Amino acid sequence: MLRIRPFRRLWLTLGLSSFGDWLGLLATSLFAAGHVSGSFAQGAAFGGVVVMKLLPALVLLPLAGLLADKFDRRITMVVCDVARFVLFLSIPLAGLLASPAAVVTWALIATFLVEAISMIWIPAKEAAVPNLVPGRLEAANQLSLITTYGIAPVLAALVLAAVERGLRSLANEQTTRLLVQPVDFALYLNALTFLAAAAVVYFIPQISGRGAAPAASKPGWVGSLIDGWQFLHHNAALRGLVLGICGAFAAGGVVVGTSSFYATSLGAGPAAFGLLFASLFIGLGLGMGLGPRLVGKLSRRRWFGLSIVFAAAMVALLGLAPHLSIALPLVVAVGFGSGMAFLSGTTLLGTEVRDWVRGRVFAFVQGAVRVVLLLTIAVSSLLVGLGGEHVLNLGILHPTISSSRILLLLAGILGVIAGVVAFRHMDDRPGVPLLPDLISSMRGRPLGVPDAPIRTGLFVAFEGGEGAGKSTQAVKLAAWMRMAGQQCVVTREPGATPAGARMRGILLDPRGDKLSSRAEALLYAADRAEHVSTVIRPALKEGAVVVTDRYVDSSLAYQGAGRELPVEEIRWLSGWATGELRPDLTVLLDIDPQVGLARVRQRGATDRLEDEEVTFHERVRDGFRTLADADPDRYLVIDANSGEEDIATQVRMRIARIMPGAPDPINALPWDADTTTTLDPDLDSMLAVTETQDLRSLSDRTDDATQWLDGSAPR
Query: SS3 string of 82-140?
Result: HHHHHHHHHHHHHHHHCCHHHHHHHHHHHHHHHHHHHHHHHHHHHHHHHHHCCCCHHHH
Could you report the per-residue pLDDT of 198-225, keeping only the tens digit for each?
888 888 887 775 544 444 444 444 444 4
CB 337 within 8 A of CB 316: no
Residue 464 has pLDDT above 90, yes or no: yes
pLDDT of residue 212: 44
Q: How confident is the model at residue 686 (pLDDT cuts 50, 70, 90)?
A: very low
User: What residue numbers does the annotated binding site cover?
Assistant: 464-471
Axis crossing angle, helix 236-265 with helix 358-387, rounded to the nearest 10: 30
User: Longest C-alpha distance within the chain, in Å?
Assistant: 119
Of the listed ranges 76-85, 96-105, 535-544, the one predicted with least confidence: 96-105
Residue 684 has pLDDT above 50, yes or no: no
Could you report the per-residue pLDDT of 126-151, keeping only the tens digit for each?
777 776 766 676 777 777 777 776 67
Mean pLDDT computed over 26-36: 65
User: Domains of the chain, with CATH numbers?
Assistant: 1-210 (1.20.1250.20), 233-357+368-449 (1.20.1250.20), 458-710 (3.40.50.300)
CB 393 within 8 A of CB 226: no
Q: Is the peptide bond before 670 cis (omega within 30 degrees of 0)?
A: no
Alpha carbons 162 and 178: distance in angstroms, whole number: 16
- Classify residue 612 by its DSSP letter: S
User: What residue numbers does the annotated binding site for ATP cover?
Assistant: 464-471
Average pLDDT over the chain reads: 75
pLDDT of residue 93: 84
Q: How confident is the model at residue 47 (pLDDT cuts 50, 70, 90)?
A: low
Could you report the per-residue pLDDT of 556-613, keeping only the tens digit for each?
999 998 998 888 889 888 888 988 888 989 999 999 999 988 888 887 778 888 888 8
Q: How confident is the model at residue 621 (pLDDT cuts 50, 70, 90)?
A: very high
Percent of the chain residues past pLDDT 70, beyond the cut: 68
pLDDT of residue 461: 94
Backbone angles phi, psi at 284, to 5 degrees: -60, -45
pLDDT of residue 549: 93
pLDDT of residue 408: 86
Mean pLDDT computed over 106-127: 79
Alpha carbons 418 and 121: distance in angstroms, whole number: 29
If one counts every other C-beta atom within 10 angstroms of the C-beta of residue 400, the result is 11
> Which secondary structure element, helix H or strand E, spans residue 464, and what is its range?
strand 458-464
Q: How confident is the model at residue 95 (pLDDT cuts 50, 70, 90)?
A: confident
Alpha carbons 472 and 480: distance in angstroms, whole number: 12
Amino acid at site 414? L
CB 607 within 8 A of CB 509: yes
Q: How confident is the model at residue 673 (pLDDT cuts 50, 70, 90)?
A: very low
Mean pLDDT computed over 450-458: 67
pLDDT of residue 639: 92
Mean pLDDT computed over 628-647: 90
The residue among 714 and 66 whose pLDDT is bigger is 66
Of the listed ranges 15-29, 94-108, 294-308, 416-430, the one predicted with least confidence: 15-29
If one counts every other C-beta atom within 10 angstroms of the C-beta of residue 411, the result is 26
SS3 letters for 125-182?
HHHHHHHHCCCCHHHHHHHHHHHHHHHHHHHHHHHHHHHHHHHHHHHHHHCCCCCCCH
CB 364 within 8 A of CB 221: no
